[in-house]
Structure 1
Amino acid sequence: MRSRPNAPNSKSGSPARANGSRPSKRCRPDSAPPKQLSAPSRERREAEAETFRREQAELAARERELAAHAAAEGKDSPEIVELAAQLAEAQKLANQRAAEAEQRAAEAQERTIQLESRCRELAEQCDLVRRELKGSREQARRIEHELPQRIAQQQLKAGRAEQTRRSVAISLTWLCAVVIAGTAAVAGINNDPAQAALLFGMTFAAFFFGSHAVAGRLFDAPAIVIGLIGASFGWWYPMWTAAVAQALATWSLPVDALPAAVVTELPQAVSVATALLTITVGIFALTWSGTLLLQIGSVSLFAGALALFPDDSGFALAAAAVIWLVVTGAGLTRWAVRIGGPDTPAAPPRGPTWSGMSLGGRAL
């Protein structure tokens, strides 16, 4: 803001005092000249007086100029003051904004330093992750390359262990069954049908539960029911034979063309055939194997036919029982090995099968 010049005070002093000097007595125009003056002294006085007058005129003009300027400044002073206030406020705001800008610049620089540090950390972490990922990929490729061999080795070991287990189970089953069947045959030959029927049921139970153990279905509820029915053969077979004999006597079948010896053995033959066919149907309901149905059904009818022959020694009936047990045991063993194999599903779909053809969702 421009300062206001001080106006000269016309009342306080003369123009000579405003000029900052006081004229001497000899320079005053109203002073009396000396009595005796030479020509050069007079000329010098006149020159000095002329110079003084000229200075006075210049001072007066300067005073008028300063007065006019002071008057102009006094007239415009409110606007100048307002402009000066606005300028000061703008200067203050500019200084404040400059300080804020400097602070933001410092914060941005600090943030930049932090971000650069974070970027370096992230780059290091990325390198670490990249190395770990590379190692994981190499390990995955190595495992993928070695996995088939490991799986094959494990499957081979598991197959060998399972094969050993099945072989032991089958061997023990056949051993027990052969011993019991031989004992049953001896009992039948010795005309002890009750003991023979009891041993027959025990032999069937050994084959049945042994094969289901190999197949992994030992504790299936239907298998337990059918196994118990076969195991109790010696208990219900005599009652079944009596019921069949009574039914045949009641029906009065036309058997006059048959020999009397055959007619006498007819109730026993029918009871043997029907009892074995009943067990065959139960086995088929569990295994859904048409091959087992055909094999065991055929040997059941063959056993019934052998029971028709009159044989006081009981050899024919014992032979029929042994043949039926051997065929049934072989069929169940084959079925158990196929079902319990490592490549066979644990729970194949239900449905009858026949000679390799699917008859219900399951192949033979």
Structure 2
Amino acid sequence: MAVSIFNEVLSKLPQFNPKDFEEIEIGYPNDEFQPEAELFDSGEAIPLPKDDDFDPESQSENEGEMGAAEGGVRAAGIEILAFYKSYRHINSPPFRGKWGIFYVNSGVQHISQMLAIEFPCAQNLREIALNFLWSHEIFHAKFDVGVLGFEGFSKTHLYLPQKFAFRRSKSYQPEEALANASAWKYAKSIDPNKSSSRSAQTIGIPGVLDFFFQFMKNQPGAYARFDENLFDLKSEAAAGIFNSQRSKYARADDLAPWVGLHPSGYCSHSDIPEHLVVGIKYSKLISPARFIPSVKEIRETPKFLSDVPVGHQSFWEKTKSKLIKSSCLPGLDFKYFEPLNVWSAKVNDNFRAHFSPISIPQGIWEAVSYGNHKKMGHG
């Protein structure tokens, strides 16, 4: 069990004093949104049910809850939906006395419902959502246990200084890119278009890899870097852990292969406790300013209709239909773009549409312009 190696190594390390590391400087920007550990204390952590399809809070997200959850993910990353808490912090909030992987049930519902909208005939959606989140969070556990081995050898703290250094830049940790890369690998394994694995044949969904690709690309900071070269990401992480060099361009190539490497038998489902956090409503935790607003009606202006090129009408109609189904679908990348009140949605890889709200509470929008990325100001 992982607990044994934690107890063995941590008992030999000196007490960690954050004051010794207050002068650390890092070459990453501060987070735009910094959720505190106590964010989920209003919920209750129960053991994860053995039946992946069982939902103890069996209910669908309403539009407001979905918009709040998606807004939270885009501001703070996947840790809004699930998070790993190290054994090192077992006596700290949230959920004192517990450690491991915590799935926020509202977050599991959020992914499941978006999958249901995107793939209406698909099944096993809750199982897929849980496995996707586990694939991300288990990398954090592997990272933690792997660093622990070096701490046992050097009798020096390595993990806590790294976390302390990134306390105001959590979404920029290269560790998050590597964790999302792990989740992306899982997504690839269940897409029959990309994999012939058993999972792809039994619970797979054709096209699900692109769904999760867009879902992760919409996340902030390092979360969206999951498709970069894995060795470079590991080298960047190693430079921070082992050499106290923390920037996007720092490298420790000689130590990169060790990042995430852990003793076998310490990071399986049976080794890392799994909990389900119930009683959480994102609409009560996330500022309404971050919500992704719903779209129920779109009115095209004459200028907009004249902007749509010949042959693009089908692309636009498909985008409009998806927006009305759910403005939170990852492939739409529906987002606030610029003052005053201009919102943008992706039509395809080269074109976007811009909107102005007529009534956000009623979900009524006006489509005002259409064009390629450069014309629309997206680079």
Q: Which has the higher strand share?
A: 2
Normalising by structure 1, we get a TM-score of 0.21
Q: Which has the higher helix share?
A: 1
